[in-house]
Amino acid sequence: MANNRSLSSVAAARSTDSARHRLRAVDRDEVVDVTDLLPPGATWLPAPQHALPTLPGRPPMIGYLVLVPADEPSLLPVAEPGEPEDADSLVRVDTVRRTAEVDGRPLDLTYLEFELLAHLVAHPHRVHTRDQLVTTVWGYGHVGDGRTVDVHIARLRRKLGAEHRDAIRTVRRVGYKYAPPTGS
């Protein structure tokens, strides 16, 4: 493909540790040197327009695919299989094995129920609006409203059972939050 650019020699010559952890706003017409942000051996190319989300009333988005060689150690955080993130909580979600349990009892969840529970458990005590949950769990392209979230929250609460249904709390006129139950 003519649009790709190999960054192995340029990126290897630069120190990427300090640049990788910097974020800043970029002007529309500003040119950014992405070689500081990519791992050695990476190749980047423009993403196909059909693969990018579209937001109503906003200009089309521009995206890039970053390809990293399989033999390069990943610089992105990778969840290790094994112990779930919060071992002290009665509600446990293992995102690697895609399992969830409450008080040692496995939960039988649909794909979206699991994604919703995993997102809430990963951000305890944080209040999420319905729109934030739709965007994060269902994705930008989802056509629906907050009622979809309400239905899935109700199903999750039923599956958590009477003892643990209050772990997902309603914040009136705002949305929902996960408040981890304490062990007894």
Q: Where are the domains of the chain?
A: 5-67, 91-178
Each residue of 114-144: pLDDT tens digit? 999 999 999 999 999 988 888 888 876 666 6
Residue 57's H or E segment, with its range, is none
Give me the pLDDT at residue 136, please. 84
Report yes or no: 16 and 37 within 8 Å, Cβ to Cβ: yes
Among residues 9, 53, 23, the alpha carbon closest in space to that of 142 is found at 53
Q: Decide if domain 91-178 falls under CATH 3.30.70.1230.
A: no
This prediction has a pTM of 0.54
